[in-house]
Structure formats: C-alpha cells, structure tokens
Amino acid sequence: MHIEDLTDLARAVDERCRLSGQFTLRSGRTATEYFDKYLFEADPVLVSRVAAAMVPLVPAGTDLLGGLELGGIPLVTLLSQATGIPALFVRKEPKPYGTRRAAEGGDCAGRTVTLVEDVITTGGAVVNAARLLRAAGATVTTVVCALDREEPVDSLLTPAGIEVRPALTRTMLDKGRSAG
C-alpha cells in the first residue's frame, strides 16, 4: 500500500474511531482519548481497507492466522480470505466445556501461527494468546495488528519474543489528523 493510501486510511480510521473523554484502558491506565476499534470493525468498507493494509505484513511461512477474541476475529476472517491462510479463533482462555481448546479452527501443533489483533497498547492479550498457543505446540513470533498505540515503555511483547507489525500507528493517526 502506498504512503498516500496509508495516510488516507489513517485519517479515515481516526475520524471514525477516536473519541475524547475519560476512559479506562484494558491495562488499567486512564486516557483522555480512546480508539473505539469496533467503530471501524463494524464498517464493512473501512474494515476491508484496514485488512487490505495488513495483508503485506503477514510473514512468509505463516501456516495459520490466529485472531484474538474479540476484536481480532473480524480481521483474521478477512485476512484469511485475502491470503488463503487458514484462520484460528483464539480465546482468552480455554473453554471449560466441549473441546476445551484455547484456539478453534484447527490444530496448531508444529505450525507457525501469526497472531492478528485489532489494537495493541501493552500487548498483554497478545502475550496471553502466544502463551496458550505455544503450550499447544505452535511457534508464535509475530503479531499483525490494525493499530499500535506505541506504548514501548509498557510493552510486554519484546520480552515475550513477539514482533509487532502494525498497519497503522498512533503517530500515523496523529499525522493524518493534522494533515486533514
């Protein structure tokens, strides 16, 4: 995707999803701005554009795409469709009934799984998903995300051996906003 296209996408996502107010983030921190990812994920045109920007970020050698519950599910579905790579649907924890699996959609043992997430702040949910998949025998070293909030001080991903490949970053949304 060309830089002009990414700038336009950043502007469109920012306009649709950035809210102002007082918000408590998953990490427990508070923020005066909030990125409501469900506003772009519920928009069929915008979510398709975001997923298209994520396609080239999927590393070669990926056997499965693992979408994190809940926000990663629409994105992993579109990425699977666009790349032909099968999808897994990764729960926050194994369900206590039925198959009792943490990931649905296929066996990940001995396979390379690229995680798919919507928004990353500290990466806690990604680290948890990687831990569950690694325990099931998968190799997990990369997460592709729609938006990286760029919180490197608090990031749990590097110590967990996970590379972040974002389609958009907080900096890109900020630049798109000022350019608009």
Which residues are documented as binding site for 5-phospho-alpha-D-ribose 1-diphosphate? 26, 91-92, 95, 117-125
Residues 9, 50 contacting (CB under 8 angstroms): yes
Residues 129, 68 contacting (CB under 8 angstroms): yes
**Which amino acid, residue 33?**
E
> Binding site residues for orotate, as ranges?
121, 149
> Binding site residues, as ranges?
26, 91-92, 95, 117-125, 149
Please tell me the distance from the alpha carbon of residue 97 to that of residue 74, in angstroms, as a whole number.
24
Please tell me the distance from the alpha carbon of residue 24 to that of residue 28, in angstroms, as a whole number.
6
| Sheet containing 163-169: order of strands | 103-104, 87-90, 64-68, 112-120, 139-148, 163-169
